[in-house]
């Protein structure tokens, strides 16, 4: 509700890349706080309390100063609010609404796209939950000590940042997320294979670390799925419900993931690694299916537009880069009749001008 579709991917990735920074700074923080000696609390309790209190403190200014939509932004005057909303016309997604629509809820649950993205996010969150939880134990299985393991987790965060921002950059340039999602699945597959086949001798530590760091490309997948879903879902209520369903999938995956790795299976963790390998392959299959389904939906909308006397082909300026042509694009859209339902809070399937993105 703030950005054109061409801008959303990079904004989402910038937010998500903070997880990589957390992995880097968190490793240093854990290393420092882990050395605190206390008779009343374990070191992990000190770490969790510190991070939890910091989160609570940050949430206060966010709740006070972060507006829900451009129309509620105190730092914009009335003209700026109208401009901020109007530039989103070609998104065909509406803006923030305070009306809960049960037909949107039903459509979200019956939409094939919803369950394709739910499946993708669940599939990537299972390795995420497993590797995040057992990553330090995997590094320890290479023969490193406890505090060495914490420090060796820092490059994991650096690769995570590169994968997240790099994937978003490529997806924005190509205006396609499907191929980039497939590309981001390749390094984790290679990394998992390395961890499965290479021995655990001291002379293998280097290649094992390379394999482990290759798996850290997977965090770049989740923000692209969220962006892909958001850019292909119209209607405020439907978008909220769809996002909630995706969060359920992510949460379920993070719950399942750690159970695939058992300490009794160290140092190879074959079951967990095999499962993760299969899941990344499954993500590729799901991405291909989603792209094919989107092609079908775009053809349906083109047929509907043609039957209504509109042009079957619509230029989707929402996926063009931001420039001074925003106003001109809006005027052209209004003149052609495209975008006349943009702010009507209708779902993507009910808006024949909605263009699905790959």
Is 245 a domain residue?
A: yes
Q: What confidence score (pLDDT) does residue 238 get?
A: 94
- Tokens representing 284 are 């590729």
Q: CA-CA distance, 257 to 333, in Å (whole number)?
A: 47
Count of C-beta atoms within a 10 Å radius of residue 132: 17
Q: CA-CA distance, 249 to 339, in Å (whole number)?
A: 32
Q: Report the sign of the C-alpha dihedral through residues 321, 317, 346, 72, in that order.
A: positive
Q: What confidence score (pLDDT) does residue 324 get?
A: 47
Q: CA-CA distance, 214 to 236, in Å (whole number)?
A: 37
Is 268 a domain residue?
A: yes
Q: CA-CA distance, 95 to 340, in Å (whole number)?
A: 14
State the DSSP string of 205-251.
Answer: HHHHHHHHHHHTTGGGHHHHHHHHHHHT--SHHHHHHHHHHHHHHHH
Count of C-beta atoms within a 10 Å radius of residue 113: 20
CATH of the domain at 247: 1.20.1250.20
Domain that holds residue 145: 5-301
Closest among 312, 310, 320, 319 to 340, alpha carbons compared = 310
Q: CA-CA distance, 206 to 193, in Å (whole number)?
A: 15
Q: CA-CA distance, 232 to 111, in Å (whole number)?
A: 11
186 touches 163 (CB < 8 A): no
Is 339 a domain residue?
A: no
Q: CA-CA distance, 168 to 184, in Å (whole number)?
A: 11
- Output the CA angle 248-252-255, nearest 5 degrees: 140
What pTM was estimated for this model as a whole?
0.83
Count structural domains, the chain.
Answer: 1
Is 357 a domain residue?
A: no
Alpha helices in 66-153 (DSSP H): 78-86, 102-110, 112-140, 146-152
State the DSSP string of 248-288.
Answer: HHHHHHHHHGGGG--GGGTTT-HHHHHHHHHHHHHHHHHHH
Q: What confidence score (pLDDT) does residue 341 get?
A: 64
Is 324 a domain residue?
A: no
DSSP 3-state of 304: helix
Q: What confidence score (pLDDT) does residue 156 get?
A: 87
**Residue 35 class from Cβ within 10 Å (0-12 exposed, 13-18 middle, 19+ buried)?**
exposed
Q: What confidence score (pLDDT) does residue 328 get?
A: 52
Q: CA-CA distance, 19 to 17, in Å (whole number)?
A: 5
Is 318 a domain residue?
A: no
Is 330 a domain residue?
A: no
- Reading the chain (358 residues) residue by residue, the pLDDT tens digits are 677 777 888 888 998 898 888 888 877 787 788 777 788 888 778 888 888 999 999 999 988 888 877 778 888 888 888 887 777 666 666 566 778 999 999 999 999 999 999 999 999 999 988 887 777 777 877 777 777 777 888 888 899 999 999 999 999 999 899 999 999 999 999 999 999 999 888 888 889 889 989 999 999 999 999 999 988 998 889 999 999 999 999 999 999 998 998 888 888 889 999 999 999 999 999 999 999 999 999 999 999 988 988 888 877 766 666 554 455 554 554 444 555 666 678 899 988 888 899 9
Is 203 a domain residue?
A: yes
Q: What are the backbone dihedrals phi and psi of residue 339, each rounded to the nearest 5 degrees, phi first?
A: 95, 10
- How many whole angstroms from its chain centre is CA 166? 13
The CA–CA distances, whole Å, from 261 to 73, 150, 221, 255, 271 equal 46, 19, 22, 12, 7
Q: What confidence score (pLDDT) does residue 262 get?
A: 84
The answer to whether the bond into 267 is cis (omega within 30° of 0) is yes
Closest among 92, 132, 93, 348 to 222, alpha carbons compared = 132
Q: CA-CA distance, 324 to 107, in Å (whole number)?
A: 36
- Tokens representing 22 are 């957390």
């Amino acid at each position: 509700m703030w950005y054109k579709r061409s801008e959303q991917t990079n904004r989402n990735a910038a937010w998500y890349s903070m997880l990589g920074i957390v992995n880097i700074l968190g490793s240093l923080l854990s290393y420092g706080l882990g050395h605190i000696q206390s008779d009343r609390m374990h070191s992990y309790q000190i770490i969790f309390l510190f991070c939890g209190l910091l989160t609570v403190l940050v949430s206060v200014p966010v709740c006070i100063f972060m507006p829900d939509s451009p129309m509620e932004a105190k730092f914009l005057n009335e003209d700026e609010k109208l401009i901020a909303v109007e530039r989103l016309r070609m998104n065909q997604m509406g803006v923030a609404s305070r009306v809960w629509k049960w037909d949107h809820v039903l459509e979200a649950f019956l939409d094939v796209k919803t369950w394709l993205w739910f499946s993708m996010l669940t599939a990537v969150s299972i390795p995420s939950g497993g590797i995040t939880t057992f990553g330090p134990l995997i590094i320890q299985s290479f023969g490193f000590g406890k505090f060495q393991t914490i420090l060796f987790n820092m490059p994991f965060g650096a690769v995570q940042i590169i994968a997240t921002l790099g994937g978003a950059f490529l997806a924005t340039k190509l205006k396609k997320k499907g191929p980039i999602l497939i590309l981001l699945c390749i390094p984790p597959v290679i990394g998992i294979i390395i961890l499965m086949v290479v021995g655990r001798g001291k002379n293998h530590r280097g290649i094992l670390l390379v394999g482990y760091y290759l798996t850290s490309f997977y965090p770049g997948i989740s923000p692209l799925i969220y962006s892909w879903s958001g850019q292909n879902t119209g209607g405020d209520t439907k978008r909220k419900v769809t996002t909630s369903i995706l969060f359920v999938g992510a949460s379920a995956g993070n719950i399942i993931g750690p159970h695939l790795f058992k300490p009794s299976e160290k140092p190879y963790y074959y079951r967990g690694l095999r499962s993760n390998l299969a899941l990344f392959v499954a993500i590729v299959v799901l991405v291909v299916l989603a792209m094919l389904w989107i092609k079908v939906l775009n053809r349906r909308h083109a047929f509907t537009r043609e039957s209504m006397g509109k042009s079957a082909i619509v230029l989707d300026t929402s996926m063009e880069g931001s420039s001074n042509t925003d106003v001109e694009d809006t005027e052209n859209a209004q003149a052609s009749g495209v975008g006349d339902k943009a702010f009507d809070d209708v779902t993507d399937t009910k808006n024949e001008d909605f263009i699905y993105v790959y």
